Structure formats: structure tokens, C-alpha cells
Amino acid sequence: MKSVFFFQRLSLFLYHLVVCFVSAIGVYSFALIFLFASFTVPSSSMEPTLYTGDYILVLKWWMGARIFNVNHAIQHKAIQIYRLPGLERLRRNDIVVFNYPYPDRNDSIGFNLLKYYVKRCVGVPGDSIEIRKTHVYIRNKKSPSKYSLNQNKLQRTNRNLLSIDKSIPKSESFPNDTLIGWATNESDPLLIPYNGCHIALQHKEYILYKTIIEWESKCEFKEVDENVFALNGTIISSYTFQKNYYFMLGDNFSSSYDSRDWGLVPEEYIVGIVWGIWKSINKHTGKFRWNRFMKRVV
């Protein structure tokens, strides 16, 4: 009789243990999918805000978690990304993690589930962003000081270089077109498109927006004659964008591969906003950086 009672108690204990274990896995999975994510900073592009070896906590729920077919993404098939309702829209100067939109080539948007970048959002939909002598201007106003760039130092360096040799060619940068001739430290105003944004098409607009127009429409977009454009074989003179886009920069302005090099980030590619650093390890020594644990970043 005692043995029967013992096995009943043991069975009940094991049942509760399994329920707790399954519930814990469910809660953890729910949190990973809808609430939080953790990433390791792999490079110095966000210094001095983030250092290589920082483990950052990303809030997915702030903008709303993304829903898409993970199996199709792994197999590099076309996917449709949906976003759940969130608390806030992405704002200028937010630090974000996103899927790098150009994993295969700079003139074609793709989706790589395993390739993420962390940068600061400098331009939001509807902004006009321009770089003059290494300084960032938004709607003709200089970017806020919280966006740390060491721009004055860079400006002096560039001025010294130009005084030595004015024939130094501009470095390759978005949109990698010799006629437009932008550089990572000098560019004309770029309008960041938003859902419903309507533009008239000229050669410059064709060069700047060809990649994202083809990604949105899933059709070939080409210039068939001087200032004559065809989308999927149909002649068009203007275009209305269907998505929101963002301009991302690294805080380490002189050593960051960002929107100055490859262009704009679609809203669907943004994972979430970086809350802060929950752990930090010096990759060279393997030691913890205790002063960076649970550090909020802005």
C-alpha cells in the first residue's frame, strides 16, 4: 500500500516537473519571438557607444515583433514579413539591429536570416539627409550632438588631404554612380521614401531608387531612353513608394560600413531597438568588462 502511494506521489511530482519544464520553454520561446533578442557586437563601427564583445539586449516589442516564414528564410525563398503592433515608431538617434539588406550585392535587396547589423538610425521616412564636409544634415539642419561622430577632426583631416592633392578621387559610396559622384563624407540631399511618397522620375531618381523600386514591385525597372523609364515593360513617369525606409550610420563615422556605402534599410528588416548592454567581454583578454554590465545606451 505504501509503495502504491509512493509511486502516485512520484508520478504527480514528475507530472508537475514536466509541466513546469514545458511551460518554461514556452515562456522562453515566446519571449525570444515576440519580446527580446540578444546579439553580440562584432565590430568597432559603433564605438564609443558600443564595443566589440558587448552583448546587447534588443526590444522587439517596442516597434512590434516580426512574423515571417523562418523555413523559407533559411532556404533563401521569397518571404512576406508582417509586424505586430508596437508601442512606438522608430525615431532619429535610436540604436537598432536589422537584417543587412544587401547580403549578396549592393544593387539588389535580399534577406539573410543570419546577417545582422547594429547602427544608429539617423534618417527616418520623409527626411532629407545630406552630408557636408563629414557633417550630417537633416532637413538642412545639423544632426544633434548626441550622435557622436568626431566630425571636426575628420573635417580637418579631409581639408589637409585636399590641400595636398585636389585630384584625389572620391571614394565609392551609395549609389556608386560616377555621374552623381557622392562620397562617404560628402553627398547631396537624399529624400528617404515613405509609404505613399510620390516622386517624379528623372535620371537621378532612377539611380537613387532603382534597387528599392525593383524590390517593392518585384519587377524590372530600367531606363529605356533618356529620362524614359519602364517598370515591368510599362512606361512610367513617376512612382509611389509602398514601404518605409531608414538611413543608418555607425557612431564610429570614419570606420563604419553603413547607409553611406550601401543605401537605405526597409522597415521590415528592423529587428528592434537596442535597450542596452547586459554583458560585455573583452575579446582579446576574455575578461568581463564589469563596468559595462546592464548599461543603458542612447
Q: Please report, rounded to a whole number, the percentage of residues in the chain having pLDDT higher than 70.
A: 80
The answer to the question of residue 125 being in a domain is yes
131, part of any domain = yes
Residue 41 banded pLDDT, cuts 50, 70, 90: very high
CATH assignment of the domain containing 173: 2.10.109.10
141 found inside a domain: yes
Tell me, yes or no, whether 208 and 193 share the same domain.
no
> Does residue 62 sit in the same domain as residue 139?
yes
* pLDDT (mean) for 190-208: 97
What span, in angstroms and rounded, lies between the C-alpha atoms of 214 and 239?
11
Q: How many domains does the chain have?
A: 2
**Would you place residue 225 in the very low, low, confident or very high pLDDT band (cuts 50, 70, 90)?**
very high
Among 94-98, 216-220, 239-243, 254-258, the range scoring the smallest mean pLDDT is 254-258
Which residues does 8 contact at the CB level (< 8 Å), separation at least 6? none
Strand partners for 54:
280
The whole-chain average pLDDT of the chain stands at 85
Residue 9 domain-assigned?
Answer: no
160 domain residue, yes or no: yes
CA distance 82 to 198: 23
C-alpha cell at 47: 564605438
Percent of all residues in the chain with a pLDDT value above 90, rounded to a whole number: 64
Q: Which grid cell is 150?
A: 568626431
Comparing 161 with 188, which gets the higher pLDDT?
188
Do both 145 and 267 map to the same domain? yes
Considering the domain architecture, whether residues 189 and 202 belong to the same structural domain is answered as no
Amino acid found at 172 = E
Domain range for 84 is: 37-197+241-296
Residues 150-159: what's their mean pLDDT? 49
User: Which pLDDT band holds residue 17 (cuts at 50, 70, 90)?
Assistant: low
Of 16-20, 118-122, 270-274, 287-291, the poorest mean pLDDT is in 16-20
44 with 148, same domain: the answer is yes
Counted residue by residue, the chain has a size of 298
pLDDT band for position 5 (cuts 50, 70, 90): low
Q: Is residue 155 part of a domain?
A: yes
Whether 153 shows a pLDDT value over 70: the answer reads no
- Same domain? For 67 and 185 the reply is yes
pLDDT of residue 21: 62
φ, ψ for residue 237, nearest 5 deg: -115, -5
43-52, 96-105, 134-143, range with the lowest pLDDT: 134-143
Name the most confidently modeled range: 60-64, 96-100, 136-140, 142-146.
96-100
The answer to whether residue 7 sits within a structural domain is no
Q: Are 146 and 93 in contact (CB under 8 A)?
A: yes
Are residue 158 and residue 52 in the same domain, yes or no? yes
Rounded CA separation 117/33 (Å): 19
Q: How far apart are CA 10 and CA 171, in angstroms?
A: 71
Within a domain: 32: no
Query: Which residues lie closer than 8 Å to 55 by C-beta, 6 or more apart?
Result: 38, 39, 40, 41, 277, 278, 279, 280, 281
Q: How confident is the model at residue 27 (pLDDT cuts 50, 70, 90)?
A: very low
d(CA 211, CA 120): 22
Q: In terms of domains, do 186 and 80 share one? A: yes
Please tell me the distance from the alpha carbon of residue 21 to that of residue 27, in angstroms, as a whole number.
10
* 231 and 202 in a common domain: yes
Within this chain, do residues 92 and 207 fall inside the same structural domain, yes or no?
Answer: no
The segment with the largest mean pLDDT, out of 61-65, 124-128, 160-164, is: 124-128
**Which residues, in sequence order, are CB contacts of 178 under 8 Å at separation 6+?**
none
Name the residue among 233, 241, 140 with its Cα closest to residue 200: 241
**pLDDT of 159 strictly over 60:** no
Candidates 42, 152, 143, 146; CA nearest to 95 is 146
Question: Letter for the amino acid at 9?
Answer: R
